[in-house]
Chain A
Amino acid sequence: MSIRELVWGGTINVTLTVDQKLFIPGVPAETGSLNFRIRRDSYIVECLPRLLNQLQRYMVGNLADILNHCWLECDSTVLPWFQPVGVQYDLVRYDAILQRDEFLKMASSVDAITVWRIKLNYGPTLPAGVIPLIRQPNQIESYWMHRWKQACFILNGTSKQMMSLSRNDSKKFWDSVRNGDSNDFEYVSAKIVPTKPRMIPLQLHDINDPSRIHQPRAECENSSGKKTSLLDAVATTLPQLLAEKGQLSSSTTLICQGIIIDADEQLERLYPPMKSFDGFLHVVVVTIL
């Protein structure tokens, strides 16, 4: 399998616990627990209506109202719906990635899997900073389209390639994300992503300040014609993470699509196989303080 196929096919095992307030009194707590597998390259809220539909006969209130007033949490950390599932997982469960080798050794002797436990909370007011979902599912599709337009502008210097997609291709593009169809996704994204991009749509997520998403200006080549590396982008954005001789400090690790990546990797080479389904290259910066 190619790296691209592995990235596209990456999944996470999830146990979702639904807020007990949403259930009819007397319904056992274990009823509100759902186990499922979700693609890293997707939005979790996109599949939420389907998941909650399974529990609707035990729930009070209608689904539309619930979706307008709910938010996801992991260990009391709010998970923003507009970030890809894989990025959210890497941000809160980076320890599982850093200790993967030990886990795999242990898993070879016992029957073990990694499960991400998250909670769906419900309340009249959303926590500060949470963007409400008011036009499900159009809001998610629209948000994703604008992400791609932005990525297209960064890659090409114009959003023309994205804006001139036919209606059929636009629909095929979104459907490919919803259905996990890699062929359709690659077919349409090839019309947007140039072979020689101008700049790379890059987002850096710092585990110590997850609300601050860094989006540096990441040119493929610097003024002297040298190919830009991921380290160059991190050095410009988060200079405090550099040790002597311009290298990353030993306490810092970079994670992309759930794997630890080399900081010296060229952005131009890293982007095509590792890009996310929203057109951006998401890198989680883990610094153990």
Chain B
Amino acid sequence: MSQRLIESESESGTDQSEVRDPSDGVKNKLEDYTRRLSQLGLDLDSDSNSNSNSSSFMVEEAQKQKTVDHQLTKQGTPGGKITIRFQPIGAISAVRPAACKISAEQHFSAVVLFLKRRVKVDTVFCYISNSFAPSPQQQVGDLWRQFKVNDELIVCYCATVAFG
């Protein structure tokens, strides 16, 4: 599951087997609402929509969508995706390619699961900034904003405890 949520960064750019981001569905919904609004011949300002329940609902949805888009792109995570660079510690095998893209809304547990499957190990210890292990419930977008280096979140991983 997590393997499908994380996309590898190929040498020429992003992989063609890119998995759709959850926000794509919402974007499509917004486009659909916009199309339907234009068919109705209504503007998006609240005054002109106050007389119609259905159109005001669509405007509310569009405003909600704006908030979602803001959440996804806030503090520099364009498109709601961030780059993770994996660095092996010790004898554990390296992930190829080393950089991957992942939705900023994913939990860190998805990264751990991805690594376990890629490296084919039962246990993997992951660290940020060569010092601490984040909580599995932390969102990778939050970690990226706070600990990024050259716009990449560096995740070091090891088969045993490296930083206790």
Q: How far is the CA of A217 from the CA of B74 in the complex (A)?
A: 11
Interface residues in B134-161 (C-beta closer than 8 Å to A): 134-139, 142-143, 145-147
Task: Identify A163's interface contact among B70, B71, B131, CB under 8 A.
Answer: B131
How far, in Å, is A82 (CB) from chain B's closest CB?
6
Interface size class of B (residues with CB under 8 A): 20 to 34
Whether A80 and B146, one on each chain, are in contact in the complex, defined by CB atoms closer than 8 angstroms, is no
Distance from A197 Cβ to chain B, minimum over Cβ atoms (Å) = 13
Query: How many of A's residues come within 8 Å of B, CB to CB?
Result: 29
B5 at interface (Cβ–Cβ under 8 A)?
no
Q: Are B139 and A212 in contact (CB under 8 A)?
A: yes
Pick the contact of B142: A158, A199, A214, A240 (CB < 8 A): A214
A217 surroundings in chain B (CB, below 8 A)? 75, 145-146
- Which residues of B are found within 8 Å of A145, using beta-carbon distances? 164
Q: How far is the CA of A237 from the CA of B70 in the complex (A)?
A: 9
Q: How far is the CB of B158 from chain A (nearest CB, A)?
A: 14
The answer to whether A215 and B138 touch across the interface, beta carbons within 8 angstroms, is yes
In the complex, whether B163 has a CB less than 8 A from a CB of chain A is yes
Given known contacts A216-B142, A240-B67, is B133 in contact with A146 (CB within 8 Å)?
yes
B residues neighboring A (CB under 8 Å): 67, 70-71, 74-75, 128-129, 131-139, 142-143, 145-147, 163-164
Mark A residues whose CB is within 8 Å of B: 80, 82, 129, 131, 142-143, 145-147, 149-150, 153-154, 158-159, 162-163, 199, 211-217, 236-237, 239-240
